[in-house]
Amino acid sequence: MPSHRFYLLRLIGIPIFILLGSIFLIVQVLAILNGSPAPTTLIARGHYTNGFERSYFEPCNSTAIWAIREGNLAPIEVFKSSLPQRAYPGQLETVYVAWRGVLTYRGPLGLFGGVFKVQEILDVHVVSPTDCQ
């Protein structure tokens, strides 16, 4: 016959474990949300790559990779259409861009260091070794 203390610990122990686990998860989520800086409006210069299911930006003099969301990217597509034909459809293409936009710091699924929402494209040209100097 089990002792009453052991029986009570088993009954109370499971809900306490679930309660403590839930509190831990809530604290972690709040820490992540509070640790994100506010969105920043800026002019960014660097290399934009896109192609089949890809769209990301590597700012000059940085190891960050930003997802590109929203904004009018038509000027980039017009510029790229003036370049020689791609080797195959869907090929990734990289161009140098300078653009104004808003940077937020929560990338999709944590895969990116930030999400850049393009407001205005200031420059676009073929990649050259002196782009980020």
Instruction: Report CA-CA distances (Å) from 9 to 15, 19, 21, 116.
Output: 10, 15, 17, 52
Q: What does CATH list as the number for 40-126?
A: 2.40.50
Give the helix/strand (H/E) hosting 132: none
Residue partners of 107: CB distance under 8 A and separation at least 6: 66, 67, 113, 114, 115
**The pTM is what?**
0.64
**pLDDT tens-place string over residues 90-118:** 567 888 999 999 888 765 555 677 888 89
Question: CA-CA distance, 106 to 39, in Å (whole number)?
Answer: 10
Q: Where do the domains of the chain lie?
A: 1-35, 40-126
**pLDDT tens-place string over residues 31-87:** 555 555 677 889 999 999 887 777 889 999 888 888 887 777 888 888 887 777 665
Give the residue with greater pLDDT, 24 vs 60: 60
